[in-house]
Chains A and B, each alone.
Chain A
C-alpha cells in the first residue's frame, strides 16, 4: 500500500509535479533526519546533509527502478551521504560542542521537577546514550528499531553482509543496553513498562 502510494508520487514527480516530491519529503524527512543526526551528531550539519540527500534523491529519481522499497533506496542514499560527510568532516571541535550542548541540556532539564520534564530528561538521557554509539552502530540501531527494517534490508542499505549486520547489530544493542543501564534509564523504564513485558 505504502509502496503504491510512493510509486505514484515518484511517477508524478518524474512527470514534473514538484508538489508530489514535496509530499515525499514530508513523509520521509524525519526518518532521514534521524539517521543523519544519529550518525553525524550535530543538528545543523545533519539538517544540511538531509537537505542534500533529498536533492540527490530528486536528481536520481529516474534511476529508481522499484526493485526494492523506495524507503530502502532512500535510506541507502542517506547512509552513504552521511558516511561521506563523516569522512570529509574531521573537525573535532564540533564533537566537543555537542558534548557541551548535551551537558548543558542535562543541567537545565535536571533542575526542573515536573513530571513532563522528568520524561523529557529521560528521553534526553536515552538520546545521549545513542549519541555515544559509533556512527554505524547508531545507524543500525535506528534502522532496526525506528523503521523496523529486516536484516536483509539493513544489509542492502549498508552494503554489509547479513552475517556482519547481525554481529554488528548484536554488539550495538548490547553496548546501548549497557550505556542505558549505567545512565539508569532502563531501571526507570522498567518501573513504567515492566508490567507489560
Chain B
C-alpha cells in the first residue's frame, strides 16, 4: 500500500479536523448527573440502629447476667433471692387460670411464623431493589 505524501496527509488532516467534534444533546451532563444520583440512592443501604458490635455487647452482658443469676443464686443476698423466688414462681403462677382458645393458639402460631419469616422477606425485597 502506497504511503500518503505529506501533501495528501496535510489535506486529510485538515479535512478531518474541519468536521470538528460531535456534540451530544444539550442535556447530556444533566442526564449523566441524574443517572449517577439515582444510582447512588439505590446503593445506600439502610443503616441498623445498633451495629453488630453493639448487639454483641448487649447479648454478652445479658448472657453473663443470666448465668450469674442462674449459677450463683446465693441465699442471703436479697436481689438474687428475689430473682430465684420469681424464677421458681413465674412459670407456675403466670399461666395459672389462663384459658386459651384453639383459634387464639393458631393466631399466635401464625404470628410467630410471620415474625420468623420477616427477616427473610426483608432480605428479598432489598435484593430486588438493588437489582432494579
Which chain A residues have a beta carbon within 8 Å of chain B's beta carbons? 18, 21-22, 25-26, 29-31, 33-34, 37-38, 46-47, 50-51, 54-55, 58, 123, 126-127, 130, 141, 145-146, 170-171, 173-174, 176-177, 180, 185-186, 189-190, 193, 197
Q: Which of B33-87 contact A (CB under 8 A)?
A: 33, 35-37, 39
Q: Once bound together, how far apart are the Cα atoms of A190 and B12, in whole Å?
A: 10
Is the CB of B93 closer than 8 A to any CB of chain A? no
Interface size class of B (residues with CB under 8 A): 20 to 34
- In the complex, whether B17 has a CB less than 8 A from a CB of chain A is yes
A187 nearest in chain B by CB position = B11
> Cβ of A170: which chain B residues have Cβ within 8 Å of it?
1, 3-4
User: Counting CB contacts under 8 A, is B130 at the interface?
Assistant: no
B100 contacts partner chain A, Cβ-Cβ < 8 Å: no
Contact A127 B19 (CB under 8 A): yes
Beyond contacts A30-B21, A126-B19: 5 other A-B pairs, Cβ-Cβ < 8 A, are: A30-B24, A51-B32, A145-B17, A176-B12, A186-B11
Query: Could you tell me if B28 and A25 are in contact, using CB atoms closer than 8 angstroms?
Result: yes
Closest chain A residue to B23 by CB distance? Answer: A30
A47-B36 Cα distance, complex, nearest whole Å: 15
Q: Chain A nearest CB: distance from B50 CB in Å?
A: 26
- Total A-B pairs in contact (CB under 8 Å)? 96
With A18-B33, A50-B28, A193-B14 as contacts: A33 and B22 at CB distance below 8 Å: yes
CA distance A140 to B94 in the complex (A): 84
Please tell me which one of the listed residues A31, A58, A171, A185 contacts residue B36 in the complex, with CB atoms under 8 A apart. Answer: A58
- Shortest C-beta distance, A142 to chain B (Å), equals 9
Is residue B31 contacting chain A, with contact meaning CB distance below 8 A?
Answer: yes
In the complex, the answer to whether B39 meets A51 with C-beta atoms within 8 Å is no
**Is B101's CB within 8 Å of the partner chain A?**
no
Q: Does B129 have its Cβ within 8 Å of any Cβ on chain A?
A: no
Partner of B31, one of A26, A51, A126, A189: A51
Q: Are A34 and B11 in contact (CB under 8 A)?
A: no
Could you tell me the distance in whole angstroms from the C-beta of B17 to the nearest C-beta in chain A?
Answer: 6
Contact B16 A33 (CB under 8 A): no
Most chain A CB inside 10 Å of its own CB: which residue of B2, B3, B22, B29? B22
CA gap between A33 and B22 in the complex, in Å: 7
Cβ-defined contact, A180 with B19, below 8 A: no
- Shortest distance in angstroms between B25's beta carbon and chain A's nearest beta carbon? 6
**What are the residues of chain A within 8 A of B25 when measuring CB–CB?**
47
- Check: B13 CB closer than 8 A to any chain A CB: yes
B91 CB–A CB distance under 8 Å: no
Chain A residues, CB < 8 A from B102 = none
**Could you say which residues of chain B place their CB within 8 Å of the CB of A25?**
28-29, 32-33
